[in-house]
Amino acid sequence: MENYRPTPLWSLSRMAEELGVASLTVKDEAPRFGLGSYKVLGAAWAASRLASRGNCPPYFSAATAGNHGKALAWACRQLGKRAVIFVPRTIAPHRADEIRQLGADVIAVPADYDEAVRVCAQQSAERGWQMVSDIGFGSYNEVPELVMEGYRTLFREADWQRQALRLPDPTVVMVQAGVGGLAGAAVRHYLDKERPSRPAIAVVEPTEADCHLESILSIRGTPAASAGALNSVMSGLNCGQVSTTSWPDVRSGVRVFLTVEDALAERAMIAYYRPAAPDAPVTSGASGAAGLAALFALMETPEFEPARRALRLGPQSHVLAVNTEGDTDRAHFSRVVGG
């Protein structure tokens, strides 16, 4: 793709020392194509594969909490397609405006994200639009599979960058879960049978949007709805249902599932943005900081001792976190970090 370049992999040695781990690296997706999030990796890959087919319709659609819709709108502009994006009532107005500025039609749904997905699927079927969603449901799995393939790009980049910097392979990977596409991509990448080393993977989500935790605790580990109110400041993770595409991988491959409160995510935003020297500052939104927030919880909270043991997390651990977004909600970012 034109203007493609890998996003940074930061080594935060001072923060690692403070947390009591051997190393902490952060894959920083905030600069990705100037869009502020990793989502474009999945949306652009899926859209380009679909557009290469001869019978592809001119309209692509999706539901979004913000970043996925913006990514699809950008991809459609590159591909000469029209984007129709369904947004829930919880979306910040400026996020919807940014999607419109990329040429997309924005349709407001007076309900939560999960209902926006349902409305998008219904209208897309009725109007012959190609839905490009990152959540699998029912028989809708091919496109979310393509989205997950695209997400693996960031983990491949991280491997190349670790080799170039002569950094050890990660022993623990902290990854956010909204509907689960990124977590599923992490499992497929890091637990691939061809890899010489396989890290333990921990999935983190907001306490108020805990569909993965509810699912793993359900009878036979079947998908279950979140028990929370879906009103976290980690807005990109406010998802009430897991993707049926990614869930089998996540269920079998993730070592630890945990949730974090909003206040801890905001503390992680500040820690990223105002680190002690020599660590580089990282601009992170609340969803982007969730992985670091989970690491804080694991290393500092006695209740998480069993999870820490399960991950073998300690002075010999090499931890990888993913900053999945930058200051995509600028008002919230300014309130939290004062920048």
Quick: pLDDT tens for 143-176: 999 999 999 999 999 999 999 999 999 999 999 9
Give yes or no for residue 213 having a pLDDT over 80. Answer: yes
Architecture of domain 39-139: 3-Layer(aba) Sandwich (3.40)
- The answer to whether 50 and 131 are in contact (CB under 8 A) is no
CATH code of the domain made up of 9-37+144-337 = 3.40.50.1100
- Biggest CA–CA distance in the chain, Å, is 57
Is residue 139 very low, low, confident or very high in pLDDT (cuts 50, 70, 90)?
very high
What confidence category does residue 3 fall into, taking pLDDT thresholds of 50, 70 and 90?
A: confident
Q: 9-37+144-337 and 39-139 share one CATH topology?
A: yes
**% of residues, the chain, pLDDT over 90:** 94
| pLDDT recorded at residue 328 | 92
Q: Report the predicted TM-score, pTM, of the whole model to 2 decimal places.
A: 0.95
Output the pLDDT for position 1.
82
Q: For residue 339, what pLDDT is reported?
A: 58
Mean pLDDT calculated for residue range 221-240 = 95
pLDDT > 90? residue 55: no
Sequence spans of domains, the chain: 9-37+144-337, 39-139
| Whole-number pLDDT of residue 218 | 96
- Give the residue carrying structure tokens 């600069």: 31
User: Residue 128's pLDDT is what?
Assistant: 96
Residue 316: enclosing H or E segment and its boundaries?
none
Q: Is the pLDDT of residue 100 over 90?
A: yes
**Residue 91: which pLDDT band, with cuts at 50, 70 and 90?**
confident
Residues 117, 135: Cα–Cα separation, whole Å: 9
Q: Is the pLDDT of residue 58 over 90?
A: yes
* Sequential DSSP letters for 94-153: HHHHHHHHTT-EEEE-SS-HHHHHHHHHHHHHHHT-EE--SS-BTTB-HHHHHHHHHHHH
Interval 44-54: pLDDT, tens: 999 999 999 88
pLDDT at 253: 98
Give the chain's mean pLDDT: 96
Higher pLDDT: 196 or 29? It is 29
